[in-house]
Structure 1
């Protein structure tokens, strides 16, 4: 089995490598190819990857290259974890929206749109090369904004599934609070990527006992503190929103915070500097503890599970993924990309039935889905007016004066990555 990681020079990659090494019985990788245009980073990450494999007795071969076509040739699955423009672009995404009083964040709001515009054309070019190399290969997208990128891939006819670590992270936290094994926790997870709610927490499987009321009653303070939302709000909702909902439920509070502290991009850039220095140590043969603060917790386990299920291995039959709606949520178009539990196998991901969704959440999902449709149109066809329309549709923007200002700033800060600008 050959797997290729596009963006293999990312400081995330050792997390993925650690999962491949530990879970080799689930996903028996024979050749792992890390491809990245940044040769200096790739050399450091590739060296650590080989040492992790050796330490854990993994017989697979780790190959590094900057040649994308060679990297995807014959690959059974290709994982996308790229960042067009690097941390410098992220820094901008998190900064210029604040000038207009809007949340500055790399996956939602105006910053998220900027990232989508930079990313979608690049990902579609990569996917076409994958299809030419092996039309049966699966593409697993971890590149944000996952919902929009996955929708672009699916609409272009690619064999693709989107993946996010929010669900697996909550599963692990809930399991720890409840004192059970993570595999025993099944989430009634519903929404769009980075716009999700846990409406049930079931023990033993999709039909198991719902212990969410007990979880909130006994551990509500801990859950609320982790989400940085008030405990009374969770009690009134009776669900657990993802931490990305704080951008919607406490928008002005978040903007005030972001204006008075260093950006997350600046923090990550410093972490990356330290991590790359660690990766260059020839004695290091395991992922360093600092990597846990970088983000992407449990990404490796989710990625291994998904790849194994898609490739006919021992992956879990039910996983939370991003895929076409296909009538699962009747208030959204069939070709909307939703994030829900799905049955995953060699033919892809089929969403499991979802209970009726409260209008409080359904309305916001429908609004953001409309924005994502307009965002994808802007990413595919370009043009200032399409960017403006997407921003005006986004619930974190929504006012024409803001949309005008943000459109100008978005184009000015991303001109080098926009072929039409």
Structure 2
């Protein structure tokens, strides 16, 4: 099979290559095609990918190209991991909202909207070309904001599923704390992308969350950046992205005193690319862990294998809601456990969602619907309405001011704003 990575010049890519090498029995890749417009990065990442597979004794051919049509031709799976505008755009996503007193984050709040405005049209163009050159191929979307981008793909009629590494990272962490194998852990991970809670952790069918919270409460609270008393009161473990909602003002104060994550990542990427250029390097470097995306390769390989093989196993993905969360429209995209078939993910029934979570989920889901409309049709009014609907903005003057700032900063990537 041919696996294509659009955004193949990303410093993330060696993490994926490592998974392909280790998990070859699950996903027999014959060709790994890396597609990226940045030829210099592509050469460095492609060279390391070849050395890594050679070291592992993996027979896959690694090809690199800046030609999207040639790259996706004949693909079975196309993985999207692109960043329109690079780290420079991310820096603006993180700093413009902060200047207005809002959290500066690349997927949450105003920064996430800016990223969606830039990204959705590009992804849909890629998907249309995949449909022409590789009909029947699955698109696995890792591009943020995953929920909005995945909904755009599904609304466009594409064979797609969204993927995030948060669920698999939590599952691995719970397994380590409970001293069991990861496959023995089943977690009730529910919500939207970057807005999820774990309400149950079962080991071999037995509930383990109370024991987990009792024995490791402070460690888990520190990892998600929230007070231990909050986790104890919730009786659940929120994703670390909930910190932007539950501790908004504290996060804003901290961000104002620290370099942006974009600046940190840009410096790290320069160092990583210098390492990738070493012809003696044939394993993913240790510093790649600082880039984020832990266990991303395992999640991506597992999802691709199940979509192609129809194994019917359960994985946490971003997919249509259907009837899973009755307080959301069926066509909303949620992040939840789903059975993976050849026809796509089928979210499983879940226990009723408590009002404390359901209210915020519904609020952000409504914002995502308006954000997608703004990304597809443009216009300052639509951008402002999406911001007004977001719980981290939600004030008319602030929404208008942020809309103007985001449009001005991203004008080069917004044809409708030219």
TM bucket (normalised to shorter chain) is: over 0.9
Deviation of 1:404 after TM superposition, in Å, equals: 1.3
Is the 8 Å Cα contact of residues 98 and 104 (structure 1) preserved in structure 2? yes
Corresponding residue to 1:275 among 272, 275, 278? 272
Corresponding residue to 1:249 among 246, 250, 253? 246
Which residue number corresponds to residue 411 of structure 2? Answer: 415
Is the 8 Å Cα contact of residues 193 and 334 (structure 2) preserved in structure 1? yes
Q: Distance in 2 between matches of 1:180 and 1:316?
A: 23
Which residue number corresponds to residue 382 of structure 1? Answer: 378
Q: Distance in 1 between matches of 2:257 and 2:134?
A: 49
Deviation of 1:316 after TM superposition, in Å, equals: 7.1
Which residue number corresponds to residue 237 of structure 1? Answer: 234
Which residue number corresponds to residue 215 of structure 2? Answer: 218
Corresponding residue to 2:395 among 393, 399, 402? 399
Misfit runs of 4+, over 4 Å? none
Q: Distance in 2 between matches of 1:149 and 1:238?
A: 31
Which residue number corresponds to residue 70 of structure 2? Answer: 70
Which residue number corresponds to residue 43 of structure 2? Answer: 43
- What SS is found at the alignment partner of 2:393? coil
5 Å matches for 1:139-158?
139-158=139-158
- What SS is found at the alignment partner of 2:28? coil
- What SS is found at the alignment partner of 1:94? helix
Is the 8 Å Cα contact of residues 34 and 63 (structure 2) preserved in structure 1? yes
5 Å matches for 1:112-261?
112-204=112-204, 208-261=205-258
Which residue number corresponds to residue 311 of structure 1? Answer: 308
Is the 8 Å Cα contact of residues 93 and 106 (structure 2) preserved in structure 1? yes
How many residues are aligned here?
417
- What SS is found at the alignment partner of 2:3? strand
Q: Does 1:265 align with 2:255?
A: no
CA deviations on 1:247-276 (whole Å, 9 max, x unpaired) are 000000000000000011111001000000
Q: Distance in 1 between matches of 2:64 and 2:276?
A: 15
Is the 8 Å Cα contact of residues 116 and 145 (structure 1) preserved in structure 2? yes
Which residue number corresponds to residue 300 of structure 1? Answer: 297
Q: Distance in 2 between matches of 1:228 and 1:106?
A: 18
Q: Distance in 2 between matches of 1:404 and 1:383?
A: 12
- What SS is found at the alignment partner of 1:4? strand
Q: Distance in 1 between matches of 2:226 and 2:133?
A: 47
- What SS is found at the alignment partner of 2:397? helix
Structure 2 spans left out of the alignment, 5+ residues: none
Which residue number corresponds to residue 107 of structure 2? Answer: 107
Which residue number corresponds to residue 95 of structure 1? Answer: 95
Q: Does 1:16 align with 2:16?
A: yes
Q: CA RMSD of the aligned region, Å?
A: 0.7
CA deviations on 1:156-188 (whole Å, 9 max, x unpaired) are 000000000000000011111000011111110
CA deviations on 1:361-405 (whole Å, 9 max, x unpaired) are 000000001000000000000000000000000000001121011
Q: Distance in 2 between matches of 1:316 and 1:89?
A: 39
Q: Distance in 2 between matches of 1:28 and 1:203?
A: 30
CA deviations on 1:192-225 (whole Å, 9 max, x unpaired) are 0000000101113xxx111111100111111001
Q: Distance in 2 between matches of 1:157 and 1:251?
A: 37
CA deviations on 1:286-338 (whole Å, 9 max, x unpaired) are 0000000101110000000000000117x671000000000110000000000
Which residue number corresponds to residue 28 of structure 1? Answer: 28
What is the TM-score of this pair, normalised by structure 1?
0.98
Is the 8 Å Cα contact of residues 312 and 341 (structure 2) preserved in structure 1? no
Q: Distance in 1 between matches of 2:333 and 2:221?
A: 28
Is the 8 Å Cα contact of residues 319 and 341 (structure 1) preserved in structure 2? yes
What is the TM-score of this pair, normalised by structure 2?
0.99
CA deviations on 1:320-359 (whole Å, 9 max, x unpaired) are 0000000110000000000000000211100011100000
Q: Distance in 2 between matches of 1:189 and 1:228?
A: 18
Q: Distance in 1 between matches of 2:40 and 2:203?
A: 46
Deviation of 1:120 after TM superposition, in Å, equals: 0.1
Q: Distance in 2 between matches of 1:158 and 1:168?
A: 25
Structure 1 spans left out of the alignment, 5+ residues: none
Q: Does 1:290 align with 2:280?
A: no
Is the 8 Å Cα contact of residues 305 and 316 (structure 1) preserved in structure 2? no
CA deviations on 1:6-29 (whole Å, 9 max, x unpaired) are 000000000000000110011000
